[in-house]
Structure 1
Amino acid sequence: MSALDKALTINELMAIAKRRVPKQFFDYADSGSWTEGTYRANSEDFSQIKLRQRVAVNMEGRTLATTICGEQASMPVALAPTGFTGMQSADGEIKAARAAEKFGVPFTLSTMSICSIEDVAENTGKPFWFQLYMMRDRGFIERLIDRAKAAKCSALVLTMDLQILGQRHKDLRNGMSAPPKFTPRFVFEMARKPQWAMQMLGTKRHTFRNIVGHVDAAGDLSKLSAWTASQFDPALSWKEIAWVKERFGGPVIVKGILDPEDARQAVAHGADGIIVSNHGGRQLDGAPSSIRVLPEIVDAVGNSTDVYVDGGIRSGQDVLKAMALGAKGTFIGRAFLWGLGAGGEAGVTRALEIIRRELDITMALCGERDIKAVGLHNIYSIDLPPRNSPLGANG
């Protein structure tokens, strides 16, 4: 039995990935901004939510099937958009999209992916979602949306919380880039990770293929970094939602919501769904965890739109807790990245299998047979202090 097959938890997949993926790319996944307080709180706060166990309940005929943004899903989990995915494993976005498609859950491709929209579309058979950053070059954004439409992407995820880049110290210290700079340190890393290196030598996808060749100012690698750094739009406003919806012609989910007032603004400006998210703790360090603010955001929007959540989900129990607090679905980022780093497409599948098994068992022990029936009645207690109390601020 392989190490991948023996892995029973997401943390065990993480340990395998750490051995196989070069440090700068592993650190990219396993890090937050500044002190990483919000990054840690994202997962730690789930442990403060206690579940209500029920017994002598018929547990036969259980189902995890649901819908996410109107699409059928085998469980309430989608793969979140993550940058540099193709640096965790060669052609990583293609591998993750294939695993998601076979498993019956949505896959979301990042603007800052290594494999392009076209690469993923050519190697999958089911429409996927595309995540969009608004950039200053609106001509490029128009073309990007049009490319997503041509690839038959079924939804856009508009990320609103990256107008300016957070203080990501690990990335700066590691000299993160795509393709990586061949410093003596990185050459040494490749020698220690020969399987990763050989796979990378076998693919032509080493840089941000959604950008290079599609923007004159970033037409070669020497100009890419400067162009990207200058493009995130500090003047982003709510009116962009309507503009994106009109251009795309399909559902637009707004990601990066962490405040009830922002949630109401997103809905008022046409969001077809919102994702409660602090960018995995990689933007504003000291912000609350996603799970902490989820209930008040659900209350703020009521039935006006579906609310999803990402950040800190490491198990099927975390998925159930999020559903109990009102989420219609969850997005996983690091959990599938560690599976990808541990074993490529098979590793992503293993991550999804782990979460599905944990979710099914937890749901049964909570006395439920249908994931859509999970709610506040499945929570025994929430040991999180109120967000507006002195103890409620994560740092």
Structure 2
Amino acid sequence: MTGGPGVLAPDPLTLADVEDRARAVLAPEVYDFVAGGSGDESTLHANRTAFDRCHLVPRVLNGVETADTTTTLLGAASSMPVAVAPMAFHSVVHPDGEPAVSRAAAAAGIPFTAATLASRPLDELVPAGGELFLQLYWLRDRARTAWLIAEAERLGARALILTVDVPFMGRRLRDLRNGFAVPAHAAPVNLADTQRGAGQTVGGHAAAVIDPTLSWADLEWVRRRTRLPLVLKGVLDPADARRAVDLGADGLVVSNHGGRQLDGAVPSLFALPAIRDEVGDACELLLDSGVRGGTDVLRALALGASGVLLGRPVLWGLADGGESGVTGALRLLRTELEVSMALAGAPNVAAARRLGVRWAPGTDEREGS
């Protein structure tokens, strides 16, 4: 990539820089597929606004020269409180796809989440020396659902993450306007032959494979079939969080699917404190949707999260340079987190979770407190 004729663009200094580089190399419809949200994208933008309205209260005189970002997430050791979020169709962005991301995550020392709709076989996604989570959609093909659960255990996954906020795909207007369809090389190979859906629109593909009738009774079905920690992704209401824990969930991901499902849904960061208050220490809480830098990770910790799932910035790194691009993006994030923690007077993750937070004037305290 160049910054003009014969001039190399500078190395990225932020994850926003990585996105700019990715946008320069991706086809416009592919960039929109990754960047876009549903409807008018009000929730997509509100996710970022929520982070911008959340102000940390740093502590002083703690003698923090360097911050220790190491932690555990769902029982998996991690170099920082971050795991790669489950995302479909990586090969749309770069031909090396999910294996490149899993290797970069392993090298960075953070868990990688393999998605049901991955474009490469699960056996290729087990990072050498890395930690693996497996994301599960509730499929119309119940036998395939059971197979995926069994595969998670066979592959040594540390947790099973059941996505519960996609009975069907939200109306993603950028994709509809672009006529975006899943190319053959990125079709989800871990589904049965009749479900792979190359050439379908993303919404049409989801409608063909995802069962919209997922219920609390089905959660019990999943719980009975695995010994793995079970995590529900897509929880925003404290009452749902409580019920999930009562039915055996070991963790929750507070998420609005990155603004790609219900447009107008509460920003994930606003929903986090009330859910932590409701469940206490009964389960781990992860947050996703809108995380774009190390200070965002620190904000999530201060509001009660155990860590975050990182989505789009990983794909921007993949687009920019394959495995090395993801490695660079994760290195930037860790550097930002270390600096933010040190400046906030938090020597480690436990201290980060004790930091105070103040919301910008005008923030609804029922959402942001």
8 Å contact kept, 1:84–1:112: yes
Cα distance, 1:228–1:81 mapped onto 2, change above 3 Å: same
8 Å contact kept, 2:56–2:357: yes
Cα distance, 1:100–1:149 mapped onto 2, change above 3 Å: same
Unaligned runs of 5+ in 1: 181-204
Alignment of 1:154-173 (within 5 A): 154-173=158-177
Q: Distance in 2 between matches of 1:139 and 1:302?
A: 35
SS class of match (1:314) = coil
Cα distance, 1:96 vs structure 2: 0.7
1:208 aligns with 2:208: no
1:269 maps to 247
Q: Percent identity?
A: 39
Q: Distance in 2 between matches of 1:107 and 1:5?
A: 28
| Aligned counterpart for 1:111 among listed residues 116, 127, 138 | 116
1:366 aligns with 2:348: no
TM-score (norm 1): 0.86
8 Å contact kept, 2:232–2:249: yes
Cα distance, 1:61 vs structure 2: 4.8
TM-score (norm 2): 0.91
1:91 maps to 96
RMSD: 2.3
8 Å contact kept, 2:89–2:186: no
Following superposition, which runs of at least 4 residues in structure 1 exceed 4 angstroms of deviation? 1-5, 219-228, 380-384
Q: Distance in 2 between matches of 1:249 and 1:52?
A: 40
1:319 maps to 297
1:349 maps to 327
| Aligned counterpart for 1:286 among listed residues 258, 264, 286 | 264
Cα distance, 1:9–1:149 mapped onto 2, change above 3 Å: same
SS class of match (1:248) = coil
8 Å contact kept, 1:45–1:291: yes
1:22 aligns with 2:27: yes
Count the aligned residue pairs: 362
2:135 maps to 131
- Structure ranking higher on relative contact order (CA contacts 8 Å, 6+ apart): 1
1:240 maps to 218
Which has a greater percent of helix? 1
SS class of match (2:264) = coil
8 Å contact kept, 2:119–2:187: yes
Q: Deviations over 1:57-110 (max 9, x none)?
A: 311352011110011110000100011222111122111100101111011011
Q: Distance in 2 between matches of 1:127 and 1:359?
A: 21
Q: Distance in 2 between matches of 1:25 and 1:6?
A: 23
8 Å contact kept, 2:76–2:131: no
Unaligned runs of 5+ in 2: 3-7
Q: Distance in 1 between matches of 2:141 and 2:169?
A: 17
8 Å contact kept, 1:80–1:107: yes
